[in-house]
Structure 1
Amino acid sequence: MTERKTAARVVVAGAVYGGGRLLAARRSAPPELAGRWELPGGKVEPGEREEDALVRELREELGIETVPVARVPGAWPLPRGHELRVWTVRLVSGEPRPLQDHDALRWVTASEAAPDGQGPAPDPVDWLEADRPAVRAVLALLGPALTG
């Protein structure tokens, strides 16, 4: 009998940016992730397009309407057989609020967002380990758009 390899379950995240800043969301659950920061998003449901899942998740989690612009090159492994894919996102309407799975939001500059203390900011973001390489890719792509 041949073992069949199953595909990773996709989790999409949005690099929501504007005004020279990137939106970071602080997890409130589950307990092992609470207090750490991530790019907001969630799981793609079976039969759902990544872009549609991202719009739905950002509406549910943050109360905003968005349009995915472009996929950030790369995909990053997450625990339990999931894979993270990130999209740049344009905010269409609404003011982001932490409605679900988050207890705080923060607009950050590139220097504040730099993972691993690479930036000169006095208050860097404590990203979830799994999000750090994705954030690096976002910063490489959006660098000039994130000033400060």
Structure 2
Amino acid sequence: MKCPYCGSLEDKVIDSRTLANGEAIRRRRECLACGLRFTSYERIEEKPLMVVKRDGRREPFERQKIERGLVRALEKRPVSQMSIENLINEIEDEAAEQAKASNEISSEDLGRMVLRKLYALDKVAYIRFASVYRKYDTLNEFIHEIERLEKGQTE
């Protein structure tokens, strides 16, 4: 595995753990050249999960898009990187399970899934993500969402 810092191909595995119900392996590695510790993941390559966008286009599910959205929503919040990683794994697993028959999931279903998980984890992150996902046009829409949050309603 190539070191992300120095580019060396020499490393050793420090720790391996099974993730995502046995469908992925997380490996902690240490570069033998520079000593940097980094994480790699192994997954079984399957037929790609496709996301059906609002306009009907289909594109492959990208774990990194979910991660970017969650990291932005959780920025400066008291949530560990490991919690974020677990959240991403849960979303990916749930999306794959929901799309089992057709290997497709709508972007709306995926967004609702992320919102549901964020609602349980961090209310501020939920509002941040919802404001982008639901494309609020006015301040009143944003205030309405906060009022729904206070009442315990997510949909």
Length-normalised TM-score, structure 2: 0.27
> Which structure: greater helix fraction?
2
> Which structure: greater strand fraction?
1
